[in-house]
Amino acid sequence: MVDSIGVAVIGAGMAGKAHAAAWRNAPSLFAPTLPPVRLVSVCDAYEPVAEESARRFGYERHDTDWRAVAAADDVDVVSVVVANHLHREVVEGLLDAGKHVLCEKPLSDSLEDARAMAEAARRAAGRGLVARTGFTYRRAPGLAAIAELVGDGTLGRVLHVSGRYWTDYGASPDVPTSWRFTGAPGTGALADVGSHLTYVAEFLAGPVVSVSGGTFTTAVTERPVAAGFALRGQDVPLTGERVAVENDDYATFSARFADGSVVGSLEVSRVATSHPNGLVVEVFCEHGAARWDQERPSEIGLALQADGSRTGGYRQVVLGPDHPYVAGGMAMDAPGVGWGQNQMFEYQARAFLDEVAGVADPLPRNATFDDGVHNMEVLDAVARSAADGGTAVTVPTSTVPTSTQEQDA
């Protein structure tokens, strides 16, 4: 096991803060005890945010250029939490510098860049470096519990899946433009939250092999320009200029999974007013059904045919130490205590540290860059389906995981 691990975070926005907090808290979770984790740097091109985040989360310093992090001898592990189009340059530079890298999803903004990153990760693995991508919702105890119920036969074979991820961060036409609102069709709501929904559906039903019915809509066609730096959700002065929104506010599609008889309907939005973070997934199986709702993350809905028609139907199952990640995953891990989304980032960070440190009994590993490429290939297939009036599009099989459910929980 290594003597200590120095950590840095590149990107200090909303998700960047979640990563910064996660690295701080992860060493206190689960067993065995990790070697000392040193919180070294938070890096952001906008210095006030980098400085504030470093101070808030207890990091030794802040930087404004990712190259400083790459060159730092006291940094071993780096989270990359910046705009998607910046991922490739930063990740490849960090790997070349000998850093272990955890990159946010989607892996990049183009398949070409994502595939190049996956090749860089394979080369880096030969030098003992770990490169993973954050499929954070696979760490949700409720979703992991449902995956276990499918995997152990309690629910039986999956028949079909229904999922939606509704958010409202773009519902107001007064929200300023940002990198999230630029790019080709499919780089908007589909890439942002649809990337999550897609791997969650695969976590429960297996790999997606084709999609159809792709449909995009841009509901808010223009947005104001901020006069200065703007974090998501903050009020900022505006220039008076308005620019066109280039990508999708809403997307929907049907998916066919590796078991050819299993299909799913998936829907995402960033203009779903009054749904700030509404991820809901329902899986229907031979012996019952199960449902998880991000707005009620400490429980699942479970229906088993064995309960009988007069006493059946959905019942609430409150998550506790008998379910994945709960025991040892919180300071107070008693039944009914409750659980939230921030813990996902902590479990993800702990799994990464386990792998880097080489602990004897690690948490399930994070998704590989090849998994990240497959995720983007599904999204690309949706975009091609939408561009061709909803036609069916096959997903390449070169990076499809052999068994998604056997991968990271």
Q: What is the pLDDT of residues 256-294, one digit of tens each?
A: 999 889 999 999 999 999 999 999 999 999 999 999 999
- Dump pLDDT digits (tens) for 375-400: 999 999 999 999 999 999 999 976 65
Is the pLDDT higher at 308 or at 164? 164
| Alpha-carbon span 407 to 365, nearest angstrom | 7
At 403 the pLDDT is: 41
- Dump pLDDT digits (tens) for 232-242: 656 788 999 99
250, two tokens: 């809403």
At 349 the pLDDT is: 98
pTM, two decimal places: 0.93
145, two tokens: 């519990």
Q: What CATH number should be reported for the domain whose range is 138-337+368-406? A: 3.30.360.10
Q: Confidence class of residue 408 from pLDDT cuts 50, 70 and 90?
A: very low
Count Cβ atoms below 10 Å from residue 223 Cβ, excluding itself: 22
| Alpha-carbon span 57 to 106, nearest angstrom | 25
At 405 the pLDDT is: 38
At 85 the pLDDT is: 94
Q: Is the pLDDT of residue 329 over 70?
A: yes
Is the pLDDT higher at 125 or at 406? 125
- pLDDT exceeding 90 applies to what percent of the chain? 87
- Name the CATH superfamily for 5-134: NAD(P)-binding Rossmann-like Domain (3.40.50.720)
Count Cβ atoms below 10 Å from residue 157 Cβ, excluding itself: 13
Q: Is the pLDDT of residue 128 over 90?
A: yes
Q: Confidence class of residue 340 from pLDDT cuts 50, 70 and 90?
A: confident
User: Average pLDDT, whole number, for the chain?
Assistant: 94
At 399 the pLDDT is: 60
C-alpha distances (whole Å) from 251 to each of 44, 189, 223, 272, 275 are 31, 7, 19, 12, 16
Q: Per residue in 111-146, is it b (16+ CB within 10 Å) or e — as a string?
A: eebbbbbbebbeebeeeebbbbbbbbbbbbbbbbbb
Q: Confidence class of residue 143 from pLDDT cuts 50, 70 and 90?
A: very high
Domain ranges of the chain: 5-134, 138-337+368-406
Tell me which H or E stretch contains 346: helix 342-357
Lowest mean per-residue pLDDT among 43-52, 143-152, 329-338: 329-338
At 2 the pLDDT is: 81
At 362 the pLDDT is: 94
Q: Is the pLDDT of residue 116 over 70?
A: yes
| Under 8 Å between Cβ of 384 and 216 | no
At 231 the pLDDT is: 66
Positive or negative torsion for Cα 288, 284, 107, 250: negative
| Alpha-carbon span 50 to 401, nearest angstrom | 37
- Dump pLDDT digits (tens) for 65-110: 999 999 999 999 999 999 999 999 999 999 999 999 999 999 999 9
Residue closest to 251 by CA, chosen among 232, 268, 226, 229: 268
Q: Is the pLDDT of residue 8 over 70?
A: yes
